[in-house]
Amino acid sequence: MTLELRQVGRNINNQWIVENLTMTVADNECLALVGPSGCGKSTTLRLIAGLDPVSTGSVQISGRDITTLSPAERSVGMVFQSYALLPHLNVFENLELGLRIRGVSKRERTSKIRQVLDLVQLWNRANNRPAELSGGQRQRVALARALLREPEVYLLDEPMSNLDAQLREDIRPELRRLVLEQRKPTIYVTHDQHEAMAMAQRIAVLNEGKIEQIDTPYNLYHNPCSLFVARFIGRPQINCLKDESGHIRGVRPEAIRFSDSGLSGKLQSREWLGNSQLLFLETQQGVIRIMAPPEQAIPEQIRLTWRAEDEILFNAETGLRLSR
Amino acid sequence: MPLLILLLPSLILLIAVFALPLFRYGWLSFHADSVMTGLVAIPNQGANWQRFIHDARYWQDLIQTLRFAFVSVTAEIVLGLIIALILNQPLRMRALIRSSSLIPWALPTTVMALGWRWIFNTPYGPIDRLMQSGLGQSLNALGEPSIAWITTVYADIWKTTPFVALILLAGLQTIPSDLYEAAKLEGASSWICLRRITIPLLLPYLGLALMFRLAQAFGVFDLVQVMTGGGPASSTESIALYAYWNALRFLDFGYSATIMIGSFLFLSSLILIAWLVITVARNRAAGVYAK
């Protein structure tokens, strides 16, 4: 089972919200869509789910064209950012609604819901309303509803953005296990790159409705195809130094070392990050960020250097990577 | 203590315009105060209440008032919901349609009641002319007791449905669209969405509209006064109209006060029941919709 988007676009009032999107998500693969807000990642999900109509291109599941099908006919399981649970129904009733609509018998409904609630460890909360659940529990109910749909594709729209940072980290392994166990193409939308890296085998970086790059987390970090990707992926942000030849040289903060020769600089400020320290150094080429070990002493005369292979060259005008 | 001081201005106002007249009427209902007593209040040992209990005209008016209130409010809620659902759709010129739909409600009741009185006039109004030329029969919409009350109900529905629609439209806009989208993914039809999402989440607003409208319809005065004057044969007479006649036609202030207080007790118990129902419904629907 694969999900395939072919030149998918969405145009509203002569403006492309999403343009010429082509990608394939394999069976048993989780692909994350990341990008700044307004880049079209949620729209992409809605196009796949059929909640918004596509203007161009086609959406296919395992070679079957679903572009013109209604949302109900598409067999997609979606987890909404707000979880979209009905506040006046309890967990059991919320899950039961979809099964009832699809005409599943009472006995089968009960056993299926029991099964899925055991899976997300919420059977003891079956009689609670959403308001009586924590954010993490609500999210699991929303996931349970998507699982009950037994879809061919899973779509997760910022499922963790309503949870606090600690909880997000706690839930990640559980969510990853549940999603991967389904062995179905999954698209995971997030604006948090750490979450994307943790959840997905591949990441698609979107910029103004277009895909900048689709690749593994490792490659996105080490071989970004454009300045946009290089800046978007990796925190603290990559250093961008202007070259005499008009190119932009990108150097990751952890690749820069103190030495006896090289670019001279002055310490502007520093942030302690526990397992490291982030130094801001003022140089002739602007402020440079350096990640250093916490015990690193700051020399009196600061000179900075880095290995040539840690340098990524970009065209200053197009922002595209120059092959080395 | 400082809190109490802050509440004082509105408290004084409420006491002055609401509690004091009420107490005064309660006191007056145990007194004879009419032309016969020279408009001086004389205690009459509950004679007003004796009369009130056996007053067939009052009970007939009460039944008429309840009939008017329940029929018009039910129709207004149903129509208001339909209109609100339509106005909640993305339409061309939605703002214009929304605001123009409020015109009947914005018209002063006396003005619009006069208008309807003319429209339903027999034999010169347009409705009756249509009936005569079409069916060869006069409707006599305001002169026939079995029809006249329906005519007043019709005018009330015309006037106040926009108000109900406005409340329900506000309620509809609080329902997040992703609830419908999630249901659509499960294959829910529009009917299921209405029954399972819209109506349950709209219950507090339906209750609010119901309470407002019941209270107003129960005290209906100007519409009936202008359209029929309570006739024909008292068939459209509301309790407010009857109380007004007692006070300002018969100059029997003691008995008029008794009617007011009696009706007040009845109405407040009605509203208490409605409030209890709403509270239960709201607690059921209460959901912090997490965002």
Best of B180, B185, B193 to disrupt the A interface (most A CBs within 10 Å) is B185
CA nearest to B282 within chain A = A88
Residue A130: list chain B partners with CB under 8 A: 287-290
Query: Over the stretch A175-220, which tens digit does the pLDDT of each residue have?
Result: 888 888 889 999 999 988 889 998 999 999 999 999 999 999 999 9
Is the predicted pLDDT of residue B291 greater than 70, yes or no?
Answer: no
Which residue of A45, A48, A85, A88 is the best one to mutate when testing the B interface, meaning the one whose CB has the most B CBs within 10 A?
A: A88
**Cβ of residue B179 closer than 8 Å to a chain A Cβ:** yes
Query: Around Cβ A33, how many Cβ atoms within 10 Å?
Result: 29
Contacts of residue A102 in chain B, CB cutoff 8 Å?
186-187
Of A84, A88, A98, the CB nearest to B284: A88
Q: Is the predicted pLDDT of residue B287 greater than 50, yes or no?
A: no
Cis before residue A236, ω within 30 degrees of 0?
yes
pLDDT digits (tens, 9 = 90+) for B206-252: 988 988 898 889 889 999 999 998 878 888 999 999 999 999 988 99
Domain boundaries, chain B: 43-282
A130 → chain B, closest CA residue: B287
Which residue in A239, A221, A218 sits closest to A289, CA to CA? A239
Q: A131 to chain B: which residues are within 8 Å by CB?
A: 286-288
- The fold adopted by the segment(s) B43-282 is MetI-like fold (1.10.3720)
Quick check: B207 and B164 in contact, CB under 8 A?
Answer: no
Contacts of A97 in chain B (CB under 8 A): 183, 186, 188, 196
What pTM did the predictor assign?
0.83
HSE-CB at A237 with a 13 A cutoff on CA atoms is 11
B-chain residue closest to A135, CA distance: B290
Q: What are the pLDDT digits (tens) for A299-317?
A: 888 899 999 889 899 998 8
User: Among B228, B232, B252, B240, which Cα is nearest to B120's?
Assistant: B228
Q: Of A110-124, A237-251, B227-241, where does the model show the most confidence?
A: A110-124
Interchain proximity B186–A135, CB inside 8 Å: no
Instruction: Report the pLDDT value the prediction gives residue A324, as an integer from 0 to 100.
Output: 58
Beta bridge partners of A311: A251
ipTM: 0.87
